[in-house]
Structure 1
Amino acid sequence: MDIPSFLQRQQQPLSADSVCIHSTFSHSKLLGSSKTIWWPNADPNTVVLFIPGNPGLSEFYIPFLSTLYQQTSHLCILAQSHLGHTEEATALIHDLAAQVSAAIEAFDALIQTYPNRRFVVIGHSVGSWIASQVLKARPSEVHSLFLLFPTITNILDTPNGRNLFWAFRPPFPYIISKISVLFRPLYTNILSIMFPEWPRAQLDVLSALLRSPSCIKACLSMAHEEMNTIRELDVNLLETYRHRIHMYFAETDGWVGNNKDVILRSFNPDPGSVNIVHGDHGIPHAFCINHSQDLADQCTRWLE
């Protein structure tokens, strides 16, 4: 399978999806590198950059992105894990500003490699906020922005944000990451009991994260920064690019909460618009575990 020159192929995991290629992306010197997954196409008419939530592990989204890829012709996809959230890549810095810079660098590489294509940026959860920063930085190149369960305003005011804020504040990310090594022998059994509905492949992704103290610390520290940074809704961005932005909300979402109503009022889409989908019953914030088909179907409709 073809891989663009800006990616370095990695050894393929034994259980990897056959339609995608595991790789790394080398950033500018200060950022280091990020883990990426590539869905190839020799002559795409649409190029997708996918930015995950937190934890920012692109492997969680293989079922979703593979389904989207197979349902849509002439499409290639680059999924970029967050800096510092995987052990396969070396990140020198991994704060929220660095994640934005990394996403922009990956997007620029796609633009240079595939000129005169349609470019779509998809973000999940906090990845939606990062994706919106890519749109702000490259407004003439991003043709569409898909925001899935977007946490783009006041995360601290969501139910989960209020309940878990203590775990994200220093020194707890450091303490939790150090304590995590004590439970390594138990992860396989504990996780299967805690999440019996999770597919084996998704449990393996979570287990790999929990076995890395540095990745745990990076994820928790980033969550703390999200809550301190993402406070005000960028109404001007939504209004300026309203015809390019598509959003998907769950019926209930502990990471969005009442912020959904604020976003919907501020976005104020055209009557009858299909740009916003909300209220689907039973699809959780972490859709990538067991509801990949539903979101792939929705993104396919938006692409078409």
Structure 2
Amino acid sequence: MEPQITPNTFCTYTGSSNDFDTTIFFISGNPGLIGYYHPFLSLLAQNLAGDENENENENEAPSFQIYGCSLGGFQTLSPDEKRSASKQKQNQKQHLYSLEDQIGFVHGNLVALMRGNSDITSTGIDKGDSSSTSNSADVPRSVSTKRRKVIIIGHSVGAYIAMEILRRHREGVSMQSSNPEPDLDFDISATFDIIGAVMLFPTVKDIAHSPSGQKLTTLLSILPHFAIIVSFLARILTFILPSATLKSTIRFVMKNPPPHALDTTFEFLKSTGGVKQALHMAADEMRTITSDKWTDDVWGVAHTQEPLTRLFFYFGRNDHWVAEKTRDEIIALRGRSGSGNGDHDVGEWSGPKMSVCEEGLPHAFCLKHNDIMAQKVGRMIRDIVL
């Protein structure tokens, strides 16, 4: 896949695009526009590329593909696509993605991306961008014998999606290993390992108990059609206000955000169904993200079947989307036991490494705190791969 930074896709490499060791697959929070994370992912790439530049032996330094795309229903349309969508509007109802739909969408993108990467390994040639959709029918299907490695980064609800993808991946690999005649359409999961995952400000349990979750739950109980009402009002506002005035309003409400956040929010509000999609998905999160539903093997506990996925959880303090009690319960029940001294012996890996931010970083770190977050995540990735 060619390096690119677009409103819907981010892809870059710390080395050659035809010769990299590990794919870092990023999953955004809600609203799921990858534009909010362009600076973070770019800074993360620079951070990891610095390791290669400092290493005298280039063969010893890991190289990475860093990839992310917008969640389903949040994609920004080109002018031609907007006109086409407007013509189809009368005959086609907008599809709203539930949380379950998003999990399937993201998993499909990961599978398609890795199928394309397997083709690069096999031929040494990138045959095109096959990862912009979960439909992988046109993706090259040659499969390399070299096993690819993947590290997932999930932010907010993206962490929940990441945990579900870990579960489905492990189940898929297990099914393929017991199937004497694997189907190529599904066998791609058996060609790569998810070796690690980094969960940032993760909303993986009891999101409705958080301060913002409680407020949203109350609003939904009073106004069952809250998403429709707010999206309608947003459409009126964006129709009435000139673009310059709308941007000034966004700048005021968001307290002077950086250009990437201002532009992405502007496109989000101007989109046909972005606001409705975000609120529809948020309401489904309140219903779905409740108790811990994953087994020890998904959590990366050492006594389960190999290979393990090394997990890092980075929680905020006073996070309005994660209740303090919920965070402390997760750390107590699932946090890594032992000294946590960074040993790389898989036999000593006994659950996720969990930490709580002491620098006061906000849940929406991608607005103004990308530099420090990229440094932190870079250290976590090094701990996974080295």
- Please indicate the TM-score interval, normalised by the length of the shorter structure: 0.7 to 0.9
Matched, 1:196 2:250: no
Contact between 1:177 and 1:213, CA under 8 Å: does it hold in 2?
no
Instruction: Report what 2:9 is aligned to.
Output: 36
Instruction: Report what 2:362 is aligned to.
Output: 284
Instruction: Report what 2:42 is aligned to.
Output: 66
Percent identity of the aligned residues? Answer: 28
Aligned residue identity for 1:149: F
Aligned residue identity for 2:166: L
Matched, 1:104 2:107: yes
Aligned residue identity for 2:25: L
Contact between 1:235 and 1:267, CA under 8 Å: does it hold in 2?
no
Matched, 1:262 2:329: yes
Give the alignment of 1:114-125 within 5 angstroms: 114-115=117-118, 116-125=147-156
Instruction: Report what 1:187 is aligned to.
Output: 246
Matched, 1:176 2:218: no
Instruction: Report what 1:250 is aligned to.
Output: 316
Deviation at 1:167, TM superposition (A): 4.7
Provide, for residues 105-135 of structure 1, a one-character-per-residue CA deviation record: whole Å limited to 9, x for no partner: 1111232233422200110000000011110
Provide, for residues 115-166 of structure 1, a one-character-per-residue CA deviation record: whole Å limited to 9, x for no partner: 4222001100000000111100113621101100000001110001111234
- Cα separation, partners in 2 of 1:238 and 1:211, compared to 1, 3 Å: farther
Provide, for residues 219-273 of structure 1, a one-character-per-residue CA deviation record: whole Å limited to 9, x for no partner: 0000000110111123524774146111111122010122111110111312222
Give me the whole-angstrom Cα distance separating, in 2, the residues matched to 1:277 and 1:202: 27
Aligned residue identity for 2:26: F
Give me the whole-angstrom Cα distance separating, in 2, the residues matched to 1:263 and 1:285: 17
Aligned-partner SS, 2:6: strand
> If you compute each CA radius of gyration, which structure gives the higher value, 1 or 2?
2
* Equivalent residue for 1:131, pick from 143, 148, 162: 162
Provide, for residues 30-59 of structure 1, a one-character-per-residue CA deviation record: whole Å limited to 9, x for no partner: xxxxx3222243311110111100001100
* Equivalent residue for 1:53, pick from 29, 34, 37: 29
Give me the whole-angstrom Cα distance separating, in 2, the residues matched to 1:93 and 1:194: 27
- Cα separation, partners in 2 of 1:299 and 1:233, compared to 1, 3 Å: same
Aligned-partner SS, 1:254: coil
> In proportion to residue count, which structure has more helix?
2
Give me the whole-angstrom Cα distance separating, in 1, the residues matched to 2:296 and 2:109: 22
* Structure 2 length-normalised TM: 0.67
Deviation at 1:183, TM superposition (A): 1.9
Aligned residue identity for 2:231: S
Give me the whole-angstrom Cα distance separating, in 2, the residues matched to 1:96 and 1:300: 28
Contact between 2:206 and 2:290, CA under 8 Å: does it hold in 1?
yes
Runs ≥4 in structure 1, deviation > 3 angstroms?
A: 89-93, 166-170, 237-240
Instruction: Report what 1:22 is aligned to.
Output: 6
Instruction: Report what 1:8 is aligned to.
Output: none
Aligned-partner SS, 2:97: coil
Give me the whole-angstrom Cα distance separating, in 1, the residues matched to 2:379 and 2:71: 27
- Cα separation, partners in 2 of 1:137 and 1:235, compared to 1, 3 Å: closer
- Cα separation, partners in 2 of 1:224 and 1:210, compared to 1, 3 Å: same
Contact between 1:64 and 1:288, CA under 8 Å: does it hold in 2?
yes
Q: Which moved more, 1:88-97 or 1:136-145?
A: 88-97
| Structure 2 unaligned residues grouped into runs of 5+ | 50-62, 86-93, 119-146, 174-192, 302-308, 343-352
Give me the whole-angstrom Cα distance separating, in 1, the residues matched to 2:67 and 2:287: 29
Q: Which moved more, 1:71-80 or 1:148-157?
A: 71-80
Instruction: Report what 1:160 is aligned to.
Output: 212
Aligned residue identity for 1:165: T
- Cα separation, partners in 2 of 1:55 and 1:189, compared to 1, 3 Å: same
Number of paired residues?
277
RMSD: 2.2
- Cα separation, partners in 2 of 1:213 and 1:111, compared to 1, 3 Å: closer
Aligned residue identity for 1:214: G
